[in-house]
Amino acid sequence: MTPRDVVAIGLWIVVAILVIYTIRHYIFTLNRVFGRHRQPYVDIGVGAWPQVAVFVPCHNEEKVIGGMLEALLAADYPHDQYYIVPINDRSADGTARIIDDYAARYPGRVRPYHRTAGKPGKAAALKDATGHCDAPIFLVFDADYLPGPNLVRQLVAPFFDPEVGAVMGRVVPHNLNRSLLTRLLDLERSGGYQVDQQARMNLRLIPQYGGTVGGVRRSALLDAGDWNEDSLAEDTDITYRLILRGWDVVYQNRSECYEEVPENWPTRIRQVQRWTRGHNQCLKRYAPRLLRFPRHMRVAQVIDGVLLLGVFAVAPVLIVGWGLATALFFMGYPVSQSLLVLFAVASYSTLGNFAAFFEVATAARLDGSRRRIRLLPFLSFGFLVNLLAVSRATISRTSWRDPGKSGPTWEKTERYRAKGGNAA
């Protein structure tokens, strides 16, 4: 076997991986176009609602925490059945003062939890708060989110199903008029939630608990081993541990919540790299366990689970593929033209939620937003930036090793709302 043959085999392997992801995305998209929309819990409007603790992890969130608490206090959930736990983890700004002010004004309904010691980071903060709350259901929101009045009830409804361990709602950007990036992220979110997550829900695969607008059942969380405070992506981590224990994870497309998306590219790149490191950690931890094909899981679930874990690892694979194809060209190797065409098409339909243009276009149409779809060609730029950022994060050693004793730190996305703002 010549070096040229080795390179050619490498290219075939790359193309095979990309084609698998492309097929996955097309299955999801076609399911959303032609398949049955599965949302069994969305119509539950009345019931004996359980007690709920709503966690809002905070680290220097003075710009947004007031708006978040106002929105949660306005929820139409029975007031004696839910309380809000802002988890202040060593904020150095005015977050603690704002939270304490709300606690004084709404005694019993806002119950702050101030952390001054222990490992930093969202997962560690959630773990500490979990130990102090005995409500059977925990909802978790990021501090910059703006839930509607019905959202608490909508997110709790699936927990009437005793098999449901976690629920994820849909994230909708509300600052999309700020830059081209925010508009591209809006399209990307549509593709990721309206098509990707909902298709996984329809097909009974593995919808992902995303950690920013969702909830977990306390008994399921403890059964799966509690929040993993060493994880850089505690949401993906708990998703897989719940699934491996036999719990169901549910996505509710109609449970929408506004969020702030990054308004500049450096912030976006840091965000994507953080997700990459967390996701790759989970790939390393849970792919081997999935590939043992647990008896309670269907084969399709296992395959989807592994592919979902691998979405961030595909970026460097794609770059390697480009390198191999170029090398073969200069080596004078007669690469099959059909292989190259397949490679080119698959390249743009591969990267997780990022570059699946067919998914994004379908999502925009399902959302009824026909004009913003015109921006689709610009997703190519976002695709390239993501490709490089994700690849860089993937090949870094920190992407694959567990954090040290101190655990992860708070890695936050920049907030843009005016201080004390209450935008809705």
Partner 1 sequence: MTVLSFVGVLAFTILWVVLPLLPALRELYAPSDVEPLSMVGRDNADIARFSRHFRDYIQANLKRLPPDARSGTDFIGKLPDGTGIVHVVTAAEGHPVAELPADAQQRIVVLEQSAELPGREQFQQELWARKELAGGPGASYRAILGERSVSLADGSVVLRWLHSVGTLTIGDRAHLYGRCSSEARIRLGRLVGFDRLGAPSIIVGSGSEIVGRPPVPESMPAFERPERARDMGDAIRVEEDCVVPAGVLVTGNLVVAGSLQIGIGARIEGSVKAHGEIQVASGAVVVGSVVSRKAIAIGQKCWVRGPIISEEQLRLARGTMIGTVESPTTIVGRTVALALGTTVHGQVIAEEGGQTED
For residue 221, give every residue at least 6 positions away whose Cβ sits within 8 Å of its Cβ, in sequence order, or none.
130, 138, 165, 227, 238, 242
Nearer CB in complex with partner 1: 114/245: 245
* Alpha-carbon gap, residue 239 to 31, rounded angstroms: 23
Site string for partner 1, 20-59 (x = CB under 8 A): ------------------x-xxxxxxxxx-----------
Site string for partner 1, 327-366 (x = CB under 8 A): ----------------------------------------
Least separation in angstroms between residue 256's CB and partner 1 is 5
Q: Which of 78, 131, 149, 421 binds partner 1 (CB under 8 A)?
A: 149
* Beta strand residue intervals within 10-106, DSSP E: 52-58, 82-89
Q: Which of 70, 163, 293, 341 binds partner 1 (CB under 8 A)?
A: 163
For residue 131, give every residue at least 6 positions away whose Cβ sits within 8 Å of its Cβ, in sequence order, or none.
none
Least separation in angstroms between residue 110's CB and partner 1 is 22
User: Dihedral angle at the C-alpha atoms of 102, 107, 111, 112, nearest 10 degrees?
Assistant: 40
Burial 210-224 (b: 16+ CB within 10 A, else e): bbbbbbbbbebbeeb
Least separation in angstroms between residue 122's CB and partner 1 is 23
Does position 377 interact with partner 1 (CB under 8 A)? The reply is yes
Q: Which of 160, 288, 395, 420 binds partner 1 (CB under 8 A)?
A: 160
Least separation in angstroms between residue 374's CB and partner 1 is 4
Judged by CB under 8 A, which stretch of 7-15, 145-153, 323-331, 345-353 contacts partner 1? Answer: 145-153
* Alpha-carbon gap, residue 241 to 261, rounded angstroms: 28
Least separation in angstroms between residue 152's CB and partner 1 is 12
* Alpha-carbon gap, residue 133 to 110, rounded angstroms: 13
Stretch 274-303 residues interacting with partner 1 (CB under 8 A) = 295-296
Nearest in space to 262 (alpha carbons), one of 414, 46, 34, 84: 414
Least separation in angstroms between residue 356's CB and partner 1 is 18
| DSSP bridge partners of 54 | 84, 139
Q: Which of 165, 210, 310, 408 binds partner 1 (CB under 8 A)?
A: 165
Q: Which of 26, 106, 378, 410 binds partner 1 (CB under 8 A)?
A: 378
Both structure tokens of 346: 């698959």
CA angle centred on 297, ends 291 and 298, rounded to 5°: 95
Does position 219 interact with partner 1 (CB under 8 A)? The reply is yes
Give the count of beta carbons closer than 10 Å to the beta carbon of residue 330: 7
Q: Which of 372, 392, 415, 417 binds partner 1 (CB under 8 A)?
A: 372
Alpha helices in 196-264 (DSSP H): 198-202, 218-223, 234-245
Stretch 257-276 residues interacting with partner 1 (CB under 8 A) = 257-258
DSSP letter at 30?
H
Nearest in space to 340 (alpha carbons), one of 322, 315, 320: 322
Nearer CB in complex with partner 1: 115/217: 217
Nearer CB in complex with partner 1: 255/391: 255
Q: Name the site residues for partner 1 (rule: CB under 8 A).
A: 38, 40-48, 146-151, 153-154, 157, 160-163, 165, 172-177, 180, 183, 186, 190, 204, 217, 219-220, 222-223, 245-247, 254, 256-258, 295-296, 367, 369-372, 374-378
